[in-house]
Amino acid sequence: MEPTQLTAAVVSIVNTSRIILEHVQNRAKRCHHKGNCDEDMDTDVPESTGCGNWDITAAVGLVDTVERRFWARQTSTDWWDRIVLQVWDDSQWLRNFCMCKATFLELCELLSPALNCRITKMRAALTVEKQVALALWKLAKPDCYRSVGNQFGVGKSTVGTAMIQIANAITDVLLSRVVTLGNVQVILDGFTAMEFPDCAGAIDGTHIPILAPEHLANQYINCKGYFSMVLQALVHHKGRFTDINVGWPGKVHDARIFRDSGLFEQLQEGTYFPDQKITIGDVEMPVVILGDPAYPLLPWLMKPYTGSLDSSKEQFSYRLSKCRMVVECAFGRLKARWRCLLTRLDRSATNIPIVIAACYVLHNICESRGKTFMAGWEVEANCLAADFEQPDTRAIRRAQLGTLRIREALKTSFMTVQATV
């Protein structure tokens, strides 16, 4: 039962009991007075006319005729109705909601079928636009729920409810449509222009600080000593997410998260990318993704050399790292835009992955609209991120011989190209 329904039911029961009690007491007083008079008149009074079942039935019958009154705090919505919706320009929308007004209205239209609310006796239902605005404001700013509620003229519990409802709607309606691989050839061409052939993405993980969970809290403490959830993401050449894996405890290593993901299974089976191979020297290379030293070296996953490097290995690692920067930049822009990811998320362990996934979707929507990122956001984000340093991950050095041959062939080709230039 919803909180408003529960409140209404309790109030109704209390009012009914009070009316019955008052009616019965008044009837008893009248019966007592009448009984004294009857004794003087020596007149018999039938017992059925006393204060009995008829009085209770009559009292219950009166309940429906009594107007019920509910108390609710009166709040002002003028700022939202008359200033934000009618006066603000796109720069103000972008600064406060991290998207322009046209994108906001488009998002509301997409989510409206999943956000039907009904009017109650307590207060009118929030419009879809106001629900989305509440959620975006809370995701974009490290404000407390009470502060956001005061801003929009609603209670702090309404802010929390709206945030989860919008996050659920975004993941249900838009996740599979927005976080997707798209045109693989365009991605391959993009990484080729960045001087890494037959590459279709860069993969990495990042930690999101959270409050201590109620269960298995020790599993969420990362090596930097704070509670976190790990996010794994694959990013294409323009910094949009094409695959995400959310919800792993902070104690879990990136390599294990990757091996237990659906992405790994599809890449291992060769079903995620088209079967499109190129020849490097005398070695065939499939479509690959790029990772840091924490990931395993596989035929379809290239990572940099570690340890003492000669010039050819340095050249290979430099070119790979330059392309892999797209995923680090994507994480930076994600967190700078939705700064709730930089402070301890105060939701349950069940709801946190939903909120994070919603932020991924919103990131892709905003990035696809072009110039929707303000430089000042990075400065604020860096200040917040300083309190939660990202953990270092251990390098994995095992690799199969065939995989080593692919990397060696790439290394040689890079040096050959450099020599000819």
As a whole number, mean pLDDT of residues 58-85 equals 60
Per-residue confidence (pLDDT) for residue 142, from 0 to 100: 80
Per-residue confidence (pLDDT) for residue 397, from 0 to 100: 64
pLDDT tens figures, 296-313: 999 999 999 988 889 999
Residue 351 has φ and ψ, to the nearest 5°, of: -85, -25
Q: At 151, is the pLDDT very low, low, confident or very high (cuts 50, 70, 90)?
A: confident
User: In which element (H, E) is residue 364 found?
Assistant: helix 352-368
Rounded Cα gap, residues 315 and 309, in angstroms: 9
> Which residue did the predictor score with more confidence, 341 or 52?
341
DSSP helix/strand/coil, 326: helix
Per-residue confidence (pLDDT) for residue 230, from 0 to 100: 95
- Does position 5 have pLDDT exceeding 70, yes or no? no
pLDDT tens figures, 89-104: 989 999 999 999 999 9
Per-residue confidence (pLDDT) for residue 10, from 0 to 100: 58
- Does position 64 have pLDDT exceeding 80, yes or no? no
pLDDT tens figures, 19-37: 666 665 666 556 555 454 4
Per-residue confidence (pLDDT) for residue 63, from 0 to 100: 47
- Does position 420 have pLDDT exceeding 90, yes or no? no
As a whole number, mean pLDDT of residues 257-261 equals 95
**Residue 223 has which token pair?**
């090596």
Residue 247 has φ and ψ, to the nearest 5°, of: 115, 0
Per-residue confidence (pLDDT) for residue 124, from 0 to 100: 60
- Of 202, 213, 272, nearest to 247 by C-alpha is 213
DSSP for residue 246: E
- Of 333, 111, 79, nearest to 103 by C-alpha is 111
As a whole number, mean pLDDT of residues 233-258 equals 94
Rounded Cα gap, residues 272 and 160, in angstroms: 37
Rounded Cα gap, residues 393 and 207, in angstroms: 11
Rounded Cα gap, residues 87 and 363, in angstroms: 26
pLDDT mean across residues, the chain: 83
CB atoms within 10 A of CB 269: 8
User: In which element (H, E) is residue 302 found?
Assistant: strand 301-302
Rounded Cα gap, residues 107 and 129, in angstroms: 9
Sign of CA dihedral 64, 65, 71, 75: positive
Q: What is the residue-wise DSSP string for 130-171?
A: HHHHHHHHHHHS---HHHHHHHHTS-HHHHHHHHHHHHHHHH
Q: Which residues contact 196 (CB under 8 A, 6 or more apart)?
A: 290, 319, 320, 323
- Cα–Cα distances (Å) from 244 to 37, 234, 255, 261, in that order, read 86, 6, 15, 9
> Whole-prediction pTM value?
0.78
Rounded Cα gap, residues 250 and 232, in angstroms: 12
> Which residue did the predictor score with more confidence, 314 or 70?
314
As a whole number, mean pLDDT of residues 343-371 equals 92
As a whole number, mean pLDDT of residues 163-172 equals 95
CB atoms within 10 A of CB 60: 13
Rounded Cα gap, residues 176 and 251, in angstroms: 28
> Which residue did the predictor score with more confidence, 228 or 118?
228
Residue ranges per domain, the chain?
A: 3-63, 78-173, 177-420
**Residue 325 has which token pair?**
């920067």
Amino acid 1 reads M
Per-residue confidence (pLDDT) for residue 403, from 0 to 100: 85
As a whole number, mean pLDDT of residues 362-371 equals 90
